[in-house]
Amino acid sequence: ETLARLTPHVRSARILPLVHFSVADWRADPCAVAARVAAQSWSAAPLIVRSSARSEDSAHASGAGRYLSVANVGREALADAVGRVIASYGAAADDDQVLVQPMLSGISVSGVAFTRDPNTGSSYVVINYDDRGDPTAVTGGRADKLNTFICWKHGGGRCPAELRPVLDLLSELEGHLLHDSLDVEFAVDATGLVLLQVRPLVAGQRPAIKLDTQKRALQADRKSTRLNSSHGYIS
């Protein structure tokens, strides 16, 4: 539902077309739901059936990555894939959901971005990403393949070129959702940046240090680093 609401408004990335439905809808009439998917012009291509349980988007506890998503699904295998996703919820509630989208291919970069430090709640953007073409490296927890970029939200810093559109997207999402603590999944293919998911970030408590105090400390840090090192400055 979040992706559907954002689709007409997001300009710095694209959102893949989607069909979402509740567990109750599927249990009541799976043929009707399958017909809704089959009616989409994109449904003849490989699909991905994604989990969208209510517990994945809670502001109080994160279930991101807990449940199953099934990739490269053909129309004939849709019912089996949906059943597997719902089974991964355990005792699925009627209002838990399933999301079906076209399968994204040709991914060059994929990752998860946080608009606050997920450990402390501090005002840093943290991006964990893979640039080797493995779309499951981040969500699958294969840390040996990951790059991490961290920057202070309120002032400049160096950013890898492939991540600049991600920073623009994060800023845009904060504006649309009126929320400054977000957990965002993204990918980049030959066409550009794709928004895969956005949910509230369940982070540590906001730091007790005031924002102005943090700014002064970082400015002092940058000055000291420029004076004492030839390797640039922290972002």
pLDDT, tens only, 113-162 = 999 998 888 889 999 999 887 766 666 555 567 899 999 887 666 788 88
pLDDT tens by residue, 88-98: 999 999 999 99
- Cβ–Cβ < 8 Å for 159, 232: no
The predicted model gives 204-214 an average pLDDT of 56
Report the amino acid identity of residue 101: Q
CA separation for the pair 116, 10 (Å, rounded): 20
Confidence (pTM): 0.81
Provide the phi-psi class of 104: left if phi over 0, else alpha when psi is between -120 and 50, else beta.
Answer: beta
Residue bearing tokens 């073409």 = 133
CA 206 to chain centre: 22
CA separation for the pair 132, 222 (Å, rounded): 31
The predicted model gives 219-234 an average pLDDT of 40
Angle between helices 78-88 and 30-38 (to 10 degrees): 120
pLDDT tens by residue, 29-62: 999 999 999 999 999 999 999 998 877 655 544 4
- Cβ–Cβ < 8 Å for 198, 177: yes
* Predicted local distance difference test score (pLDDT) of residue 81: 97
Residues 6+ apart with CB under 8 A from 96: 22, 23, 52, 53, 54, 86, 89
